[in-house]
Structure formats: C-alpha cells, structure tokens
Amino acid sequence: MNLTLELLVEYLIATAILIGIVIVTYVIGRMVKYFVTYMAGKTGFSDWMAKFHLGKAILRSGMTIGEFFGKVSMWLILITGTLFGLATWFALVNYAYATTLILDIVNTYVYGFVKTFIIIVVGFLLTDAFIGYVYKGGESGGQLEFLSPVGEYLRLLFYLAVLIFALDVGGLSVKTLTMILIPVVWGLTIIMIILIAGKIAVEVLERARK
C-alpha cells in the first residue's frame, strides 16, 4: 500500500512538473513570437525580405513576414519544450528508455529541422539575389526578354540544390528525392535548350530579313 501511494505521489509530482514546463514553454513561445514579429517590422527586415521571391511567397500566404518567422519560432519552442517536459516526466517515473528516445527525437528531428530551415532560407535568399543580379545585367543590355526564362530556370535549379543540401544536412535521406528529380531536371534542361535555340533562330531570321 505504501509502495502504491509512493508511486502515485511520484506520478502526480511528475505530471505537475510536466504541466508547469508546458505552461512556461507556451508563455516563452508567445513572447518570442511577439518579439520576432515586432522586431521584423521595426528593423525593416520584413520590407527587405519582401523584395525576394521567398518573402513574396510568405506574403501571398496571408501572413506578414514577421508573423511567419514569429510563428515558426513559437512552434519550435512549444514542440521542444513539450518534448523536454515529456522526457522529464519519464525520467521522474524511472522510464529511462522513453527519456532517451524523446531526447533523441529532439536532437535528430527538431535540431535537424532548425538546420534545414536556416539553410533553405539563406540559400533561397542568395539564389534570389543572384538571379536579381542577372536580371539587372539583362536590363542594361536590353536582353531581359532572353534572360527571363534562363533566370527562372537557374532559380529552380538552385532552389532544388539548396533543398536537397538542406535536407541532407538536416539528417534526412535524399537518395530517393535525388533519383526522382534527376529526370525532371534533365527534362527542364532540354526544354530550356529548345527555347534558347528557338529564340536565337528567330533573331537570326529577323536579322537575315533585314
């Protein structure tokens, strides 16, 4: 009877600690969300991001850029805090295997997602900046119409490369994804070559007529 009562007390204490961790995590997550949203607008980060394709895509989703990053930060904190709370609960009731399993999930998937997310954001921004530079060169040389399909093709290739690299760094297997994308990339390459060849042929014919 005493043993049962002790176990009950342990479970109650562990549950109370779990609830406390979840509540504190929720409060911290909400505070971080508001802080990130506020700072994104205050520092001009949202306006700067809106110049890139990634920022425009976020705006089309119905959220501001600050809200997007704020929500991502909040959910990461909530998920991580809840998992740590569960790990603490299992540790207090002497389920070491479950504790280790949850901590492995945090280390593998949550941390992996953070790395993947950062690489994707930075990689997409660098890609957009590079393609924007290509377009500016086309504007000065009067070749914007010719460079537009080439630029979008390069953007797609770089996006795919960044995505695959980010997933690989995040700890996910990209072998199957790579095998699927190879014929897609080759198909896009062939289409792009045909478009470029057609464009060149049209220009040559127009000059020949003149």
Burial of 55 (0-12, 13-18, 19+ CB in 10 A): buried
Mean pLDDT of the chain: 82
Beta carbons within 10 angstroms of residue 6's beta carbon: 10
pTM: 0.78
Residue 104 has pLDDT above 60, yes or no: yes
Q: Is the pLDDT of residue 34 over 90?
A: yes
CA angle 207–208–210, rounded 5-degree value: 65
**Which of 101-110, 128-137, 193-202 is the most confident on average?**
101-110
Q: What is the pLDDT of residue 26?
A: 94
Stronger pLDDT, 163 or 191, i.e. the higher one? 163
pLDDT at 1 over 50: no
